[in-house]
Amino acid sequence: MITIKPATATENWDAVAQLYFNTWQVAYRELLPQSFLQQLTPATWQPQKRWQHTILAWSNAQIIGIVTAGPARDEHFATFGELYSLYVLPNFQHRGIGTQLLHAGLHLIDHFPQQYLGVLVNNLPAQQLYASVGFVDSQQRQRVQTPQGHFTEAIWTRENIF
């Protein structure tokens, strides 16, 4: 049985950081430079900083998925809501949990007239999921430079359906 519920300040945030680490190692294995993935650790993430904007998926007592969403972090989208992240542990993928989390995350930002997210330009499965709820590629690109190389995100937007 899967339970989806808002996070609390007292969650096991180390487990959530481990979820981010584990999902990144699998989801981005073919999409990001290997040297970039290798330098990551669970300490890379500080999910407790956004606990008020977080919804978790649970299977029994295990955290298996996360969605975070809130006000836009980029000043160019100041009036938008932003979907910050959406991840499901690899062993729980392809069961509809990501779709459930996506809908829950959109409820966190449903008071914004427009919404946006950044997705790797080569992450076609994620793009298909976002398109299924009305996001479209705005054709805007953001280049992210790291010491291990660069990657490019596409900005996808959505008009809120009230």
Task: Kindly report the pTM of this predicted structure.
Answer: 0.92
What CATH number corresponds to the domain at position 83?
3.40.630.30
Parent domain of 61: 2-113
Instruction: Say how far apart CA 99 and CA 55 lie, in whole Å.
Output: 13
DSSP state of 72: -
Q: Is residue 36 part of a domain?
A: yes
Residue 132 and residue 125: Cα distance in Å, rounded?
11
Largest Cα separation within the chain, whole Å, is 43
Assess if residue 153 is contained within a domain.
no
Residue-wise pLDDT for 14-71, tens only, equals 999 999 999 999 999 999 988 889 999 999 999 999 999 999 999 999 999 999 999 9
What residue spans of the chain are helical by DSSP H? 13-27, 34-38, 97-108, 124-131
Residue 136 lies in a domain: no
Q: Write the CB contacts of 47 (distance below 8 Å, at least 6 apart in sequence).
A: 13, 16, 17, 20, 54, 66, 68
Q: Is 87 exposed, middle or buried (0-12, 13-18, 19+ CB in 10 A)?
A: buried
Residue 126 lies in a domain: no
Alpha helices in 44-131 (DSSP H): 97-108, 124-131
How many domains is the chain built from?
1
- Please list the residues that pair with 86 across neighbouring strands: 67
Residue 142 lies in a domain: no
> What's CA 79's distance to the chain center, in Å?
20
Q: Is residue 141 part of a domain?
A: no
In sequence order, the 6+-apart residues with CB closer than 8 A to the CB of 73 are 82, 84
Q: What is the pLDDT of residues 90-127, one digit of tens each?
A: 999 999 999 999 999 999 999 999 999 999 999 999 99
Record the tokens describing residue 128, joined without a space.
């298909």
Torsion sign, CA atoms 74, 76, 82, 86: negative
Q: What is the pLDDT of residue 161?
A: 66
Q: How does pLDDT run across 117-154, given as a tens digit for each residue? A: 999 999 999 999 999 999 999 999 999 887 777 889 99
Structure tokens belonging to residue 69: 């969403």
